[in-house]
Each structure stands twice: as structure tokens, then as C-alpha cells.
Amino acid sequence: MLITSQPFSHRLFFITIILFSVSVTARADVSFFLLEAVGFAAQWNSAGHASVHLSNVCTDNYTQLRPCRTGERGVVISSFRNLGAEENYEWMAMPLLPFLYGVEDERDIPLYVNEAILTALRERYRRQRLADLIPVANDGYWQHLIGAALRRDIYAFTVTTSAEQDATFIAAFNHAPNVNRFRQFSNNCTDFAARVLNQYYPHSARRDWLNDFGTTTPQAIAKSFSKFAKKHPELQFRITRFSQAHGTLKRSQDARKLTQEALRSPKYLAPLLLWQPHLAVGFAGSYWLFGRFNPDREYRQHAGETKLFGTKQDWKEANTAFAQLLAQADEVQFFFRELEQNGEPSFDAAGALQLQLKATGQMVGLTRSNLRSHNHQLAYKLLLAKIAAELQAKEKNRDSFATFQANWDLLASVQYRER
């Protein structure tokens, strides 16, 4: 049930992060990160991207690894075609929060994101932390190492590890040459992630030769790693999802295997049916019999906390309560677009994101640390727009109900102060 008068609780909003970070502090983990498809890549194959989070492995310079100290949350290791660094590195290791949200403090996670905001976050982090590796802003894939969850959904498939496994991995990767030999079909980002997983648990990550035509896709590794983990209950398998931020960025697309993409995408399916219908039948049979895997369904089965998602009645009550709020509020349907067109992002004295409206000069805080430090009317409208976006989203694209409730509580706290 939604409560509109209680103050906002930081603890509740970050429940999805806490569920993930508890394992970071209490034990060592390795997580396969399945990142949904975005940009040009989403237009031609929707394979997505793959990275690996190691909760007890950290770094001081992004290319050399060490054990984590107390309070650290580990690194996400990623490989790309071209990271844009002065050295042609195969991989870089990024601390967890900057990788997900482009910030170093949970209180500074943006409530709203557009292209200008994402660019500002990435450039600030490059200047403050990566200048030795990337002294000049460029089009390299280093940008994808910062704020990844602001642009796309990410599924984390997690199992436990040991300090001994971490030490072995650190020694192996620190002594191996970090030189990029990227090849799209034989040594891509997912091949790299599979190599990391197999360093910890041999044969846990396997490509799907039949459904991916010999290459390696993130969904194939997610499926094989999940299958391996389920056979070993002592590994305490669980799945977390980091949902794409609200705003005007185009939504990410489901990560797919290649036969699945051929069957789901009209640009591939239409020619197949017209010129090679027997291939379409073969692809369908291959995927149906050997390739099927739904990351979101797996997430809901292995999240470890069923109350996280809310019931149909919970969401129904939320819709009813929100309709009553909208009856008393200004139009919010186009507020995100208005912020994109008329807002200029910057950072306040504490380093938190803010947005100034060019026409009026009014300022709106974009994080939980500074939302109530600026124009309260704009803050209230921003939260209304967030809640509206959540309620209008498809079930698969919704954040957890716990996070939704926390946003509602934050709205109530802003409304209460207005009075």
C-alpha cells in the first residue's frame, strides 16, 4: 500500500543496490553482467554487451588489480574494440558505482537522464579519474564504462567465490599482457567475459555454436553460466537487475541470440521467409529446442526476494492513487522532454547534478542529495514525471516496486515541505 505522508527513506530506495552490495561486503562474488543492446549495435544484431563484476577485486589505476579494502565494492571488467586510451588495452576495470551510474556516491545517482547529462557525467569522470589513461575526450568505448545503467538495463548473474580464487585471478591478469586483440567473431567482449568466468569456474561459460553461428553472444553466456550455477547450489546463485534510468534516452533492447534476432527482427525475417523459408524453419527449431532463454524471467525466479516486484494489486492501487494526484497537478506528460530542450546541466558545489532552465533561470536538483535544495515546484513535477513513466512502462521495463514506493515517499516528502 502506498503511503503519501511519510518522509523518504534512503534505505528503501537503494534496496536493489543493497541486495547486491550485501554480498559484496559479506563474501566474494563473481557476476556476469548482461547489458541490453543500445545504439547502432541494437539496429543490426541486438546482441548487447557483456562485462564481469568481481566484488572482492579492486584497482588503483584501472589496468592493475588488487584485493579490495573494507567498504570497497569491487570492479567491473570490460573489453571493447577500442577503449580510446593512449595504450591499446584489451580491458579496463571500473569501480562498480561509476560503471553503473557515473557517480561515486549513491546519493548522487541521477533521478533523470538525457544525452547532455550522460555526456557531462562521463566527461567529468574522465577528467577527474581517467585523465592519465585518456587525456583527451574521444569517441572510444571508455564512455561505455561510465554510467552504463543510465542507458540500458543490466542483469547480474551472481555466484560466490573465495579469496583464493580472487588471488589467483589477480595474479593471472596482472601478469598477462593487457593488449587488445579484439575480433568481432572470435574474440569479442563476450569471449573476454567468458574467459574471466572460466578462470573462476572452468567450463561454466560456453558459447552456443548452433544459435549464434559460431560467435559468442551475451545471452548464450548468461544461459550457460546460469545452468552451471543451478547445478551447484553451494554457489548461492542469484540474479539482480539494474534498471535503465528515467529520462529521454531511447530504451535499450532485449539482448538476443542470432537465430532469435533473425526470427524477431522484420529486416531479417521478411527476406528469410521470401527467399529461404526452410532456413527460417530451421532457425525456429534450433532456438526453440536449444536456445531459449529469457533473462527477465530468470531474474524474477532468482532475485531472492519476491516482494521486490509487488503484486498486481500493488500496482493497481498505485495507478489509482497517482490518478488522484494528477487531477491536482499541472501536465507532466512532456516534462522530461521540456527538461531536455530547455535545461542546461551542471554540478553544484558538492558535485551533485543540477539543471537550469534557460528561459527562466530556475534550477532543479537532479539527485536525492540536492533535490530539495532548489525549486520545489520543479522537483515535485520531476518526481511526478518519474512515477508516471514507471506506471506507464511495460512490466518488463518497470523498476522494482520497492524502488517505486521509495520514489513515491520522496514525492510525499517534497509535497509535505511545500505545504
Share of the chain above pLDDT 90, in %: 68
Listed range (66-70, 268-272, 309-313) with the worst mean pLDDT: 268-272
> What is the overall mean pLDDT for the chain?
88
φ/ψ region of 216 (left if φ > 0, alpha if ψ in -120 to 50, else beta) reads: beta
Mean pLDDT of 178-190: 89
372-394: pLDDT as tens digits? 999 999 999 999 999 999 999 98
Phi first, then psi: what are they for 193, rounded to 5°? -60, -40
Cα–Cα distance, 366 to 21 (Å, whole number): 24
Non-local CB neighbours of 222 within 8 Å, separated by 6+ positions = 32, 34, 155, 157, 255, 293, 295, 298
For residue 12, pLDDT over 60 is answered with no
**Which pLDDT score is estimated for 214?**
83
pLDDT band at 418 (very low <50, low <70, confident <90, very high): low
In this structure, the number of other CB atoms found within 10 A of the CB of residue 51 comes to 30
**Which pLDDT score is estimated for 329?**
66
254-282: pLDDT as tens digits? 988 788 777 777 766 677 677 888 777 87
C-alpha separations of 37 from 143, 157, 209, 262 in Å:
15, 17, 21, 15
**Which pLDDT score is estimated for 361?**
94
Cα–Cα distance, 345 to 364 (Å, whole number): 10
CA 70 distance to own-chain centroid: 24
243 contacts 404 by C-beta, under 8 angstroms = no
326-356: pLDDT as tens digits? 776 667 878 999 999 999 999 999 999 999 9
Measure the CA angle with vertex 64, ends 60 and 70; round to 5°: 45
In this structure, the number of other CB atoms found within 10 A of the CB of residue 326 comes to 14
7 contacts 414 by C-beta, under 8 angstroms = no
Grid coordinates representing 382 are 520531476
C-alpha separations of 163 from 56, 167, 168, 192 in Å:
8, 6, 9, 22
Share of the chain above pLDDT 70, in %: 89
392-406: pLDDT as tens digits? 998 889 889 989 999
Looking only at the bridges linking them, the beta strands covering 49-54 and 29-35 are antiparallel
Cα–Cα distance, 319 to 109 (Å, whole number): 26
CB-count burial class (<10 Å; 0-12, 13-18, 19+) for 253 = buried
- DSSP character for 61? S
Mean pLDDT of 191-207: 97
- Closest CA relative to residue 34, chosen from 46, 22, 18, 25: 46
32-60: pLDDT as tens digits? 999 999 986 656 677 899 999 999 999 99
pLDDT band at 419 (very low <50, low <70, confident <90, very high): very low
189 contacts 32 by C-beta, under 8 angstroms = no
Cα–Cα distance, 303 to 297 (Å, whole number): 10
Which residue shows C-alpha cell 559460431? 214
Grid coordinates representing 306 are 519476491
Looking only at the bridges linking them, the beta strands covering 49-54 and 75-79 are antiparallel
For residue 23, pLDDT over 90 is answered with no
Mean pLDDT of 140-156: 97
Grid coordinates representing 15 are 534496496
For residue 303, pLDDT over 50 is answered with yes
Highest mean pLDDT out of 83-87, 115-119, 300-304: 115-119
Cα–Cα distance, 383 to 91 (Å, whole number): 38
The end-to-end CA distance of the chain, in Å, is 23
For residue 102, pLDDT over 60 is answered with yes
- Closest CA relative to residue 211, chosen from 220, 198, 202, 223: 220
Mean pLDDT of 186-194: 93
